[in-house]
Amino acid sequence: MLKSTIRNQELQITKLKAEKEAINNKDTNRNVLLNFLSYRLKMCEVKSRTSKDVINTQNEKLKILGEERKTYQEKNKLNLKQSFIQAGMIMKQEAQKEDLKEALKIERNLRQDLLNLTEILDVSNVNMFPTYVQTMHCNDKGITGPKW
């Protein structure tokens, strides 16, 4: 009986060792799983932090680009206004140019008419006019009195 008791106890010891080993294996598996999950969590945190930094940097760049865009739009509006003003001035100057051309034509015609009139009042044609005109013409030319 002693043998059977010893055998039972040895069997129990073996069972307990097997259970202990199984528990140790479970603990080891849990430790491995825990280490793996901790590592994954740290890596996710690092990626998250990196992504956050990238997002913040891009946000700053977008703000700067937005401000630059606003500045360019204001400059474009100003340039457009100046262009319209210049176009208006050009149109006015074109109208003035046409008016000046017309005035030059009128002046040329008036000069031609004046030349024609002065040619009529030439000394050879003075005798065709009345006496008072002859007197005025002679006084202008430095001739003293008409020749009657």
67-111: pLDDT as tens digits: 999 999 999 999 999 999 999 999 999 999 999 999 999 999 999
Domain-embedded: residue 146: no
Signed CA dihedral, 105, 106, 111, 116: sign only: positive
Domain that holds residue 81: 2-141
Task: Tell me, rounded to whole angstroms, the distance of Cα 95 from its chain centroid.
Answer: 33
Most confidently modeled of 4-8, 66-70, 113-117?
66-70
Domain-embedded: residue 75: yes
Residues 131/146, Cβ–Cβ less than 8 Å: yes
Of the chain, the percentage scoring pLDDT greater than 90 comes to 45
Domain-embedded: residue 148: no
Alpha-carbon span 66 to 58, nearest angstrom: 12
